Structure 1
Amino acid sequence: MAMPVMTAAGTPQAGATPYRGQRYLPALIITVSLFFLWGVANNLNDILIAQFRKAFTLSDFGTSFVQQVFYFGYFLLAVPASMVMRRFGYKAAIVTGLMLYAAGALLFYPAAQASLYQLFLLALFVIAAGLAFLETSANPLMTELGDPATAARRLNWAQAANPLGAITGILIGRFFILSGIEHDEQALVTMDAAAREAFYRSEVQAVVGPYMWIAAIVLAFAVAALFVAFPKNPPRDAGDTTQGGRFADVLRHPRLIGAVAAQFFYVGAQVGLWSYTIRYAQANAGFGERAGADALFVSLVLFAAGRFAGAALMARMAPVRLLALFAGISLALAAVAGLIGGTIGLYALVASSFFMSIQFPTIFAIGIDGLGPLRRIGASLIVMAIIGGAGLTALMGLVSDLAGITHAVLVSAASFAVVLAFAIIVGRGSARAG
């Protein structure tokens, strides 16, 4: 008989039969690597925003289309990815995701040759489609490969590979994409047409090399995944006799619906802050683009440190309480950045990354906690909530164009308030159930 265990939110649940044993160790290693790979792609977008703003002379709202198409790809492909995973298993979904990721990276070559912003957006959409498959697969797989009682903690440890990938992405952009050449409008006007065209073209071409290398590495992972054993079916909760479930069934789980909303606003806050960190540093601290990238690099180092610290703290504090604490501090720091500005505002904006660290995986684990055979469907809905990265980043870009980049940060502050409210409500519900 299975003994009761404690769920991610701190409430008891009937024991489950998770996947264990050495057979799936290679699958576990590849799965953790996926968190690294999509971290590279996600945060290279922050570099691309600065690069495309210069190369295509875009407004802040215009640059937001980088994140809009990227996270729209997540939104559109999350459900199909879940269907592929349910029908054909983890391996099929992961290999499909890796192939799409590589295809999108390869599309950067013709996009650069044509020097068309729209083709780059198409390439980013294809990459995001691949990442939707990877995230829809990897997140629930990490919660299933082990003891359900430590699902949130295990997912946080796996997600620690994500900021390492993000840091790598920023370093790639810092040293291999950003040139450090920043002509103002007056200087560009005084240049002859040929020199101006050569400048724009060199800035566009700078993105090609890094993405060709990324494509090669991702294809290598796809080939490796073909020869590794992955679980085919989700483990059942004790007493469960069903094999799947319908999307309508998950609507009966208010905690999941709350997690979808919280994830929408959290991802919007995170993506918005990182997308405009370089712009914020330029406007508030007088930084150049490379110095702004350094500020973003520090943000990601703090994010990684927060992920490790948060995972360790979960051994002593209920995940939902830690989520409330970190969301509250993120809210306060974003408010300082949005209201005070200047160097102090930049420090606050950078520091907020430490406290953003555990929010995505903790919301995810709390949201799918107790869903049993509906875990994969619930996971796809939470992944769909990543569309917040498109909507709220666009809103920040619009506010920036109208009122300045400093006040645009208040969009993220309001988003953290939603996450805080979710954590408080779930925490009170868990206390009453206990």
Structure 2
Amino acid sequence: MKIVRTKEGISYFWPFVLVTSLFFLWGFAHSILDVLNKHFQEVLVISKAKSALIQAVVYGGYFLMALPAGYIIKRYGYRKGVVLGLLLYAIGAFLFIPGSRLMSFEFFLFSLFIIGCGLTCLETAANPYITVLGDLKYGASRLNLAQSFNGLGWILGPLVGGMALFSTNADVSIPYIIIGSVVLLVAFFFMRIRLPEIKEEEPSADAAVLNKGLWQHAHFLWGVVALFCYVAAQTGINSFFINYVTESDLQVNNATAAMLLSFGGMGLFMLGRFLGSWLMNLVRAEKLLFYFAVGASVCMVIVIGNWGWLSVGGLFICYLFESIMFPTLFALSIVRLGHHTKRASSFLIMAIVGGAVAPVLMGLIGENNMAIGFIVPLICFLVIGIYAMAYKRMTRFS
């Protein structure tokens, strides 16, 4: 595969395969939250805004843990960063066992915060590692391909969560016991292997460019803003997908809505990443990002209109358009940063805190009419479109 080869012909196929397996694990962890959100609203009798604290603590973990994770990776390497992330992930998952006995919302939030810290380590290590694991010009395409398997985790999360949590004898710990056990096995495996440490390419031989501070690179600075907006939009849409569908006049129950989210929304999300990885061999990444941002914005207008199945269809199609945004924004933001790459990754992962903000805001706005709450992701997609349109100008002197 040419996308995992360097200019010198060195192949990183197997390291690529191993690290790509991690993308599935955090996709599952995030997507099951969307089912958990609705489950806690009913079982613990809490409001939409309060249930959105589930996402807030997970993504808050990203904000607090990103810089420490970046320091650990810079000092000890990518592999140890991955192992630490997997162990924290497993600990948080197994805390759901006592949590299911206590049925304390606060204890569940603590468990999810630990999982969030673990996911931060995984993403801080894996995203930039995949980006530099071959020729720089294929960075966005390579990351989109790896993120396609993240999409598989997003499909299985609502499926497993819906089956476990919307049944008559629901036990919230069951899906977390399963994934915690899998994560421990993967952690053991990564302890036994060696990953090659890749030296990031310097952006230019121009000393003036090499001496630039990280925040002086406009494409990185605004990339952080755009990534914040993307995660805000994605998390907000996922969090209230089930609410939106069940509150429509379509007579859809929770279990059916979870299945629609799994195979409909997340299925298109995964398809979009495979499609995006292929299209980036034909279209420049920033151009494709712009087209997809426009498409997602149109979908959100249709969703806000609340026109029955037409709007639900718009909600589904939005998953196709948003699919490439995270890996593409991440890859574009760290282009030609050279020795700043690992530190830049930490700040980009911190931007994932957008996922802590949007669900709470959407819950407050949409408490009585969920459709209105989708104005938040609409604004976010417009910001991403502006970034994509201005990207070439921002990188001209980087």
Fold conserved (TM > 0.5)?
yes
Q: Give the Cα–Cα distance (whole angstroms) in 1 for the partners of residues 362 and 314 of structure 2.
A: 18
2:341 counterpart SS class: helix
Residue 385 of structure 1 pairs with residue 351 of structure 2: yes
How much does 1:323 deviate? 0.2
Residue 213 of structure 1 pairs with residue 178 of structure 2: yes
How much does 1:238 deviate? 7.7
- What RMSD in Å do the two structures reach over aligned CA positions? 2.2
Q: Give the Cα–Cα distance (whole angstroms) in 1 for the partners of residues 90 and 220 of structure 2.
A: 32
Residue 279 of structure 1 pairs with residue 243 of structure 2: yes
Q: Give the Cα–Cα distance (whole angstroms) in 2 for the partners of residues 38 and 20 of structure 1.
A: 29
Please give the residue correspondences for 1:180-191 in structure 2 after superposition, counting only pairs within 5 Å: none
Residue 426 of structure 1 pairs with residue 391 of structure 2: yes
1:251 counterpart SS class: helix
Please give the residue correspondences for 1:191-230 in structure 2 after superposition, counting only pairs within 5 Å: 202-203=169-170, 206-230=171-195
1:365 counterpart SS class: helix
1:316 corresponding residue in structure 2: 282
1:342 corresponding residue in structure 2: 308
Deviation larger for 71-80 or 290-299: 290-299
Structure 2 gap ranges (5+): 1-5
Please give the residue correspondences for 1:227-376 in structure 2 after superposition, counting only pairs within 5 Å: 227-232=192-197, 234-237=199-202, 249-284=213-248, 285-297=250-262, 298-376=264-342
Please give the residue correspondences for 1:115-154 in structure 2 after superposition, counting only pairs within 5 Å: 115-154=103-142
Q: Give the Cα–Cα distance (whole angstroms) in 1 for the partners of residues 78 and 214 of structure 2.
A: 21
Please give the residue correspondences for 1:147-162 in structure 2 after superposition, counting only pairs within 5 Å: 147-162=135-150
How much does 1:234 deviate? 3.0
Residue 395 of structure 1 pairs with residue 361 of structure 2: yes
TM (normalized to structure 1)?
0.85
Could you say which structure has the larger radius of gyration? 1
Q: Give the Cα–Cα distance (whole angstroms) in 1 for the partners of residues 225 and 338 of structure 2.
A: 21
Opposite residue 75 of structure 1, the aligned amino acid is: F
1:4 corresponding residue in structure 2: none
Q: Give the Cα–Cα distance (whole angstroms) in 2 for the partners of residues 294 and 95 of structure 1.
A: 32
Q: Give the Cα–Cα distance (whole angstroms) in 1 for the partners of residues 51 and 8 of structure 2.
A: 44
2:379 corresponding residue in structure 1: 414
2:66 counterpart SS class: helix
Deviation larger for 30-39 or 224-233: 224-233
Deviations along 1:92-149, whole A, 9 cap, x unmatched?
1000000000000000011111110111111110001000000000001001111111
Q: Percent identity?
A: 34
Residue 58 of structure 1 pairs with residue 22 of structure 2: no
Query: Structure 1 residues 144 and 327 mapped into 2: Cα distance closer, same or farther (>3 Å)?
Result: same
2:216 counterpart SS class: coil
Query: Structure 1 residues 334 and 385 mapped into 2: Cα distance closer, same or farther (>3 Å)?
Result: same
Give the conservation status (yes or no) of the 8 Å contact 1:277–1:296.
Answer: yes
1:194 corresponding residue in structure 2: none
1:57 counterpart SS class: coil
How many residue pairs were aligned?
A: 389
Give the conservation status (yes or no) of the 8 Å contact 2:300–2:377.
Answer: yes
Q: Give the Cα–Cα distance (whole angstroms) in 2 for the partners of residues 18 and 34 of structure 1.
A: 27
Deviations along 1:165-207, whole A, 9 cap, x unmatched?
111111111222222x6xxxxxxxxxxxxxxxxxxxx54xx11
2:3 corresponding residue in structure 1: none
Opposite residue 52 of structure 1, the aligned amino acid is: F
TM (normalized to structure 2)?
0.93
Give the conservation status (yes or no) of the 8 Å contact 2:133–2:198.
Answer: no
Deviation larger for 339-348 or 412-421: 339-348
Opposite residue 387 of structure 1, the aligned amino acid is: V
Residue 104 of structure 1 pairs with residue 68 of structure 2: no
Q: Give the Cα–Cα distance (whole angstroms) in 2 for the partners of residues 425 and 415 of structure 1.
A: 16
Deviations along 1:330-373, whole A, 9 cap, x unmatched?
01101110123422211111110000000000000110001011
2:66 corresponding residue in structure 1: 78
Give the conservation status (yes or no) of the 8 Å contact 2:56–2:357.
Answer: yes
How much does 1:427 deviate? 3.6
Q: Give the Cα–Cα distance (whole angstroms) in 2 for the partners of residues 163 and 221 of structure 1.
A: 19
How much does 1:240 deviate? 7.2
Give the conservation status (yes or no) of the 8 Å contact 1:267–1:388.
Answer: yes
Deviation larger for 421-430 or 105-114: 421-430
Give the conservation status (yes or no) of the 8 Å contact 2:132–2:198.
Answer: no
How much does 1:249 deviate? 2.5
Opposite residue 224 of structure 2, the aligned amino acid is: V
